Amino acid sequence: MKIAVVGGGSTYTPELVDGVARIGLPVTELALIDPAADRLGVVGAFAARIFAHRGHPGRVTWTSDPVAGLSDADAVLIQLRVGGQAARTSDETFPLECGCVGQETTGAGGLAKALRTVPVVLDVADQARRLAKPGAWIVNFTNPVGIMTRVLLDAGHRAVGLCNVAIGLQRRIAAHYSVDPDGVRLDHVGLNHLTWERAVHVDGVDVLPGMLDEKLDVEFPTEVIRAQRAIPSYYLRYFYHHDEEVAKERGAQTRGQAVAEIERELLAMYADTTLVTKPELLAKRGGAFYSEAALGLLQSLHGVPGFHSVNVRNRGTLPFLPDDAVVEVTAPVTADGPAPEPRGWLEPSQRGLISHVSAYEELAVEAAVHGGRDRVYHALLAHPLVGQHDLAEGLTDRLLAANRAHLPWIDR
């Protein structure tokens, strides 16, 4: 199997590389693709040393030429970041001027990232359709995952979106109950970065009711969790504690700035030719359990059935959403792809927020694909973290000013 990784120069690529080598997926070639040749050379050489140290029989290649990297790939992983950490820092700061949360996957910052990223992801996917093997799957890890997955599916690509939120919680629960992670299955439901765990099955028994009576190690008051009878994703703090989050962010170091510092240290470590294992600092970079999530999903897409939390077309999974919406749920996955089952009833507060954000995502896709200032404004007006005319107007101007170099097409 040849796996092509677009954005292979990322500092967390070694997490994926280590997973491939450790899990033993039958990979003959892991092709890392990235336009940043200097950075890619450092990451690629380190990745090759990891393979060699682990005794993996496959080879690691790296290239800035997408034709070479994508040709004959059995699967394509997309994990790119347009504009790097500098653009992320912008996403995390310009909304604060309007009193709105700054974040790279939701609100105005999330829309800015989507607008920059959609054209690039579609171009990569079009190249993959021409160059990769027929039927090759595209696994998208690029944020905002729900929006990116929707544009890929709208364009007819064989794609599935992936996030590490669910697998991170699964691993924590497995450790808490001292069981194998495969013995924990979550009823994970919602949209990307807007999810709830409605059941937690440990060796076939739903332990969530008991968990709700404990003091859970999550970032919400017990009252919020018990009222919904579910465990919210930590990203929901931007909705449930919006003003508190804004107050924390003002004047503080952004996550993008922190990650940029970590990346500089990691690249210096990776350049050390004696380093053959991933450093502990990588755990602070983000993307925990990304390799397990991605490789487990690829195994299922290539014939080993399993359950995974994925971003897929709705198609009746959540009956209150249009069929062409993209949802994030735990689903059985085979070589034919994910096949989620209908989820039925949700709490009104969950159903309402999901519907609201899904409508915003529909408008965000329109803005990213077709351009136009009015489409950007309408998407922001529809977002529950904005939702007011004056805010949407001000954020539109700030978003476009902050991203003009990346959005030359937006005024068409």
Q: List the catalytic residues.
A: 235
> Residue written as tokens 């491939």?
20
> Residue written as tokens 């765990």?
197
Opening angle at CA 157, ends 63 and 305, nearest 5: 90
3-class secondary structure, 63: strand
Task: Give the chain's end-to-end CA distance (angstroms, integer).
Answer: 42
| Helix (H) / strand (E) containing 53 | helix 37-54
Please tell me the distance from the alpha carbon of residue 91 to that of residue 113, in angstroms, as a whole number: 7
Please tell me the distance from the alpha carbon of residue 237 to that of residue 407, in angstroms, as a whole number: 30
| Helix (H) / strand (E) containing 196 | strand 194-202
Beta carbons of 13 and 43 less than 8 angstroms apart = yes
Q: In sequence order, which residues have a C-beta less than 8 Å from that of residue 176 and are 6 or more positions away? A: none
Question: Encoding tokens for residue 62?
Answer: 């790296």
Please tell me the distance from the alpha carbon of residue 177 to that of residue 184, in angstroms, as a whole number: 9
> What single-letter amino acid sits at 248?
K
Task: Give Dmax over CA atoms of the chain in angstroms.
Answer: 59
Whose CA is closest to 134, among 160, 155, 157, 151? 157
